[in-house]
Amino acid sequence: MTTDMLSVKGGTKIFYRGTLDERRALDGLDVALKPGDFCIVIGSNGAGKSSFLNAVSGKLPLDSGRISIDGQDVTRLNAHRRAQFIARVFQDPMIGTAPTMTIGENMLLAELRGKPRSFSYGLTAARRARYSEQLAELNLGLEKRLDMQVGLLSGGQRQSLSLVMAVSTRPKLLLLDEHTAALDPRTAKLVMDTTVRAVEALQLTTLMVTHNMEHAIKYGNRIIMMDAGKVLVEIGQEEKNGITVADLVERFHTKSDAIALQGA
């Protein structure tokens, strides 16, 4: 058996513990991803999808439970230390890049993610050439604008740049947090296509949160449905083939109704 690329065991995070507002964001969450898994995470608002991603990235320290990446326990590592394993594309194109810095500088920041940074000159000619090559694959003309401030790019361009920055280092784990939700349909498709191409070409283990059921069916090899901070339904490779949106919705409701009945 191969080692899981990501393993979350009993992940629990409770906000406002012991008060009337107590809210279980994650409630004994168990997830395991094999190397190369492209796992889609769906669930209604407040189901814990974002908390799950934040817990994995280290932004949200767990109250209890363990997280390991490629066999290494990272539960106690804070976010900037986990960055050596993880790349992330945020929902908001403004967060994933540094707007007042140039495209080249942003690429440099991403290339050195989780690596020691030295006092030597950053944007060397060799690096510029490499970045141009990587950006040319997007077909957005960004490769000719390495010295342009990222803040001047459109949301779609920034999100595409974010994606290149994330995958160019071949992270052990790629986190996509509704990364096409803030884009218009055409741009969203463009970014999604780029995502799938990169994930498949580099065999990246990926967690993608989405509200788009079509995307959930079309992309990836596994689906996790979350509710109340736990995995409610898990759909594997074989089951996923041929499944429809209606099936998904029904599976979700049947299961949550069953749980509601149990509780009653």
Which residues are at the interface with other proteins (CB under 8 A)?
57, 59, 79-81, 83-84, 86-88, 90, 94-101, 105, 108-110, 112-115, 117-123, 149
Going from the C-alpha of 52 to that of each of 2, 99, 107, 240, 246, the distances in angstroms are 23, 27, 27, 22, 25
Q: Which is nearer to other proteins, 115 or 197 (CB)?
A: 115
- Strand partners for 14: 24
The CB-of-77 to other proteins minimum distance in angstroms stands at 11
Q: Whole-angstrom Cα distance, residue 52 to residue 186?
A: 28
Element (H, E) at 252: helix 245-263
* Min dist. Cβ of residue 125 to other proteins (A): 14
Which of residues 121 and 262 has its CB atom nearest to other proteins in the complex?
121
Which residue type is seen at 103? I
Q: How far apart are CA 232 and CA 92, in angstroms?
A: 27
**With respect to other proteins, which residue has the nearer C-beta, 158 or 230?**
158
Least separation in angstroms between CB 182 and other proteins: 15
For residue 89, the cross-strand partners are: 176
d(CA 257, CA 154): 43
CB of 189 to other proteins, least distance (A): 25
Q: Residues 6 or more apart from 239 whose CB is under 8 A from it?
A: none
Cα dist. 149→54, 100, 102, 146 in Å?
Answer: 28, 6, 4, 8
Is the CB of 16 or the CB of 121 nearer to other proteins? 121
Of 163 and 235, which CB lies nearer to other proteins in the complex structure? 163
Q: Taking the chain, what is the end-to-end CA distance rounded to the nearest angstrom?
A: 40
Nearer to other proteins (CB atom), residue 174 or residue 216 = 174
Q: How far apart are CB 80 and other proteins at their closest, in Å?
A: 5
Smallest gap from Cβ 254 to other proteins, in A, equals 37
